[in-house]
Structure 1
Amino acid sequence: MRSTRRSTRRTARRTARRTAAVFAGAAVVLALPAGSAFADSPAVPVTQPTKPQVKPTAEVRAYVTAVRLADGSVAKVYKVGDNHFEADVFAGSTKPDTLVGKGGAVAYGRSNGLHAVLQPNGTVTSWVEGGERPKPVGKESSVRFTMPDGRIAKLVDGPDGKRVEISTPKGNSLGTIDLKHPGTHYDGWTYELVQDGKRVKFLVIDGKGGGNSWVYDFGGKLIGKYTVVAP
């Protein structure tokens, strides 16, 4: 019985010593400063997400039409985008100018006396220096003035062509003339429209006074006066 008790005591003492060693090791680990357990681990860099690079879209010039200009040169019109038109002006094989209209703006060009205008809708108008400037497409313009006989002439230029409305000083209509019906008479006076090349002129002739006449352009400006000399 004594030997059994001694053996039991020795086993208990050994178990106690082992348990104390385990707890001592755990205490050493717990006593380390915070983060020491990862001190030997390599740092992992944080990668920021990269934004995809957006390449600009190349503009494409879509051919629209070719327009013969007042001096015989040609404008080739291209649509590049919304409210963006371009017109390459060619004089033979050379390209003296390119008109660029963006954002609804009107583009102007001038070369060797030629004036060219690119409208926001892609239409092109032109005139030669000293010639009559065309009116905007789709719009009507007019000018009024008093003629030598005291009556009123209203010169109208619009999409349907040029015309003259003749009236009394009080506004009573006496008739209208155009290039299809270019003349009318009233009380000895004659009113006529004359096509002179690319220009249209308005003539007022005093039949009662022997044939004296006045010539106006379509801006209402007096450009000629002719007096008949009595024999």
Structure 2
Amino acid sequence: MRAPRTLRTALIAAGVTTALGVSAAGAFAAHTPATANVPTMAQHAKAKRVYVKTVKLADQVSRAKVYKTGENRYEAEIWAKDAKYGTLYTQGMPTNAQHNGLHFTLRPNGQVSSWVERAEPKPEQAVERVLIGTSTLADGSTTAKIFRLTADHYEADVFADGKRLDTLVADGRAAYGENNGLHVALHPDGKLASWVDEAR
């Protein structure tokens, strides 16, 4: 009477088929060359696993525990934070896999390499300055053009004699400026206040 397959043998069979063992912690997308010689279940069952090394992967969190199971045959268990994500198998040809942007390769000599996909930075959306008003300031000759960019982001260009002196930026907090005793305050709601120093 044939003995039933053990759970380990069943997992190894699944791993050989897909070149990846899957644990409850997660799953990998794995890729093996179509021409690779895949070991049989019997070969895996008889192979003696010998620990070789642990390799830190490119995300600086995951680790690959590498075991030799025969000539040109290796396994690499992928771990992160005490959880095993899966196992790669190779015999004679490299095996590749990726998980959440972390790519790694197990080679027939037991070497492991890895790299991380870098997210492309999103292009900053241009914010339109919308003129909401022009104000004459407390000295009677200086003016300010007030622009709205977002709900709590306003800017004020301050002009004297037709020349721009400064731009106040109130982005979530008030901005203040001063020129020859003229003080200007721009608040994040777009309100502008100004005053002059009293002559002594």
Q: TM-score, normalised by structure 1?
A: 0.37
TM-score, with length taken from structure 2: 0.41
Higher relative contact order (CA 8 A, sep 6+): 2
Query: Which has the larger share of helix?
Result: 1
More strand by share: 2
